[in-house]
């Protein structure tokens, strides 16, 4: 039986950081101290913070519903409104929770999700975010604005960056009217600097997992990425990641292992299965297998953000986002990650209601396996809808995959002798 894993002491600071964010959001709503903007997780958060908005990220709220395993209670409520069971279960669980008058944010003193003064989307992820925001816009009769980004982007072009830049700039007059203030370039520079600093620290946290044994796993990352999502453009994010990085670097020096007895290392592509994070983490650990890196957590690294060129660098970060790319650059990226983290195999999560962040349906696993010479595993599931996930099937498939990897390693060792 595997030894118990050492928990990250930084988790206490994470709870404090996230609680302060939610309480601040609630206070702004309750006391009307600041206008409220909703923003998609990779939308223009820096611009909104520069204009004085407090910012709510509904994908974060939906992930809380998934992690709390309450999403399936709300999905049928949205389906009864005409939303298909096949579309994003983030969208349907969030709308269902709103219609049910319930939210995990009540633990922080909020009476449900905060009512928006404006909703700002970016379709670089998918069309669903626009439909999602427009539903709330109709409920509250408030502006819904955003950026219609290019999709399936191959080599990023100046034309694409220019298009998104112009769309970003066009948001400003509307946002200024809602906020009741003019955009201050110094405040935008400050927000961009904060976002860049947090992004750089988050990247350093993730890359500590290149160390053997890894001090950090994908499952840790899905929890500790919270500030990178909801506090982008705010100084608190960088403060937290400085704390986390110090602990992870200390772990590498002292040999503290995220997975005791680490034997195999994997890469995870696709969305988390929020309601089964602990179960999956435990299953992999039982087989002394560390999932050391992921496309998902790395998607909140925005290395091209530049305070000296805010508009074009925000646009470039949007266009270059992994989920918005075509298969060829996606495969090149995963190949780099496989080599950087020295992994033995790749897990592809086939997420039922998120085809936009599922990369296992058009031959990518086989192409990468043939090119890199490592096996791949497909796990069926969903980001929030647990009806699409089987614990027994997942454990059986993971066990078989780990045995395949171990057998391959043993055969390679015999051949080398």
- All structural domains of the chain with their residue ranges: 11-410
Bigger pLDDT: 129 or 414?
Answer: 129
Structure confidence at residue 97 (pLDDT)? 98
Average pLDDT value for residue range 130-143: 98
Q: How confident is the model at residue 7 (pLDDT cuts 50, 70, 90)?
A: confident
pLDDT at 3: 54
35 by DSSP, 3-state: which? Answer: coil
pLDDT of 233 above 60: yes
Using 50, 70 and 90 to split pLDDT, how confident is the model at 1? very low
Mean pLDDT of the chain: 96
Tell me what the mean pLDDT of segment 161-181 comes to: 98
In terms of C-beta density within 10 A (0-12 exposed, 13-18 middle, 19 or more buried), how is residue 313 classed?
buried
Residues 6+ apart with CB under 8 A from 250: 256
In degrees and rounded to multiples of 5, residue 187 shows phi and psi of -70, -35
Mean of pLDDT values over 390-410: 93
Of the candidates 131, 52, 51, which has an alpha carbon nearest to the alpha carbon of residue 92? Answer: 131
Averaged pLDDT, 12-27? 97
Q: Are 143 and 178 in contact (CB under 8 A)?
A: yes
Phi, psi of 36 (to 5 degrees): -110, 125
- What's the whole-model pTM score? 0.96
Among 356, 321, 358, 311, smallest CA distance to 156 is for 321
In angstroms, how far is CA 113 from the centroid of its own chain?
Answer: 20
DSSP secondary structure, 74-135, as one string: HHHHHHTTT--TTS-HHHHHHHHHHHHT--GGGGGT-SSSPPPSEEEEETTS-SHHHHHHHH
Q: Specify the pLDDT at position 200.
A: 98
pLDDT 10s digits, 258-304: 999 999 999 999 999 999 999 999 999 999 999 999 999 999 999 99
Res 415 pLDDT > 90: no
Q: What are the Cα distances from residue 359, in Å, to 275, 290, 378?
A: 21, 21, 10
Task: Compute the Cα dihedral for 346, 351, 356, 362 and give only its sign.
Answer: positive
Our CA angle for 98, 130, 183, nearest 5°, is 100
Answer yes or no: are the C-beta atoms of 384 and 66 closer than 8 Å.
yes
* 213 has pLDDT over 90: yes
Find the mean pLDDT for residues 358-385: 98
Helix (H) or strand (E) holding 372: helix 364-372
Rounded Cα gap, residues 26 and 350, in angstroms: 36
């Amino acid at each position: 039986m595997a030894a118990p894993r050492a928990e990250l002491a930084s988790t206490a600071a994470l709870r404090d950081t996230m609680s302060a964010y939610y309480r601040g959001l609630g206070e702004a709503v309750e006391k009307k101290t600041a206008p409220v903007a909703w923003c998609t997780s990779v939308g223009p958060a820096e611009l909104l913070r520069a204009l004085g908005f407090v910012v709510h990220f509904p994908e974060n709220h939906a992930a809380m519903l998934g992690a709390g395993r309450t999403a399936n209670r709300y999905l049928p409520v949205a389906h009864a409104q005409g939303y298909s069971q096949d579309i994003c279960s983030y969208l349907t669980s969030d709308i269902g929770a709103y219609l049910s008058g319930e939210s995990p944010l009540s633990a922080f003193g909020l009476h449900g999700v905060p009512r928006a003064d404006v909703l700002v989307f970016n379709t670089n992820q998918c069309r669903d975010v626009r439909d999602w925001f427009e539903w709330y816009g109709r409920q509250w009769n408030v502006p819904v604005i955003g950026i219609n980004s290019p999709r399936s982007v191959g080599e990023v072009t100046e034309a694409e960056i220019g298009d998104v830049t112009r769309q970003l700039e066009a948001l400003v007059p509307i946002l200024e009217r809602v906020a009741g203030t003019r955009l201050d370039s110094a405040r935008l520079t400050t927000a961009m600097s904060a976002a860049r600093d947090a992004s750089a620290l988050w990247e350093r946290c993730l890359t500590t997992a290149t160390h053997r044994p890894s001090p950090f796993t994908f499952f840790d990352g899905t929890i500790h990425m919270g500030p990178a999502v909801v506090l982008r453009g705010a100084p608190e994010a960088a403060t937290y990641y400085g704390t986390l990085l110090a602990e992870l670097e200390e772990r590498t020096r002292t040999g503290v292992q995220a997975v005791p007895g680490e034997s195999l290392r994997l890469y995870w592509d696709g969305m988390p299965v929020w309601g089964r994070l602990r179960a999956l983490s435990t299953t992999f650990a039982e087989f002394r297998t560390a999932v050391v890196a992921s496309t998902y957590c790395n998607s909140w690294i925005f290395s091209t953000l530049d305070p000296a060129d805010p508009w074009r660098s925000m646009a470039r970060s949007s266009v270059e986002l992994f989920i918005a790319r075509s298969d060829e650059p996606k495969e090149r990226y995963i190949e780099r990650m496989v080599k950087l983290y020295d992994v033995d195999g790749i897990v592809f999560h086939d997420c039922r209601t998120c085809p936009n962040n599922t990369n296992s349906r058009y031959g990518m696993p086989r192409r990468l396996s043939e090119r890199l010479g490592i096996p791949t595993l497909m796990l069926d599931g969903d980001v929030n809808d647990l009806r699409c996930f089987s614990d027994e099937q997942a454990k059986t498939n993971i066990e078989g995959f780990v045995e395949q990897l171990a057998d391959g390693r043993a055969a390679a060792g015999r051949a080398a002798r």
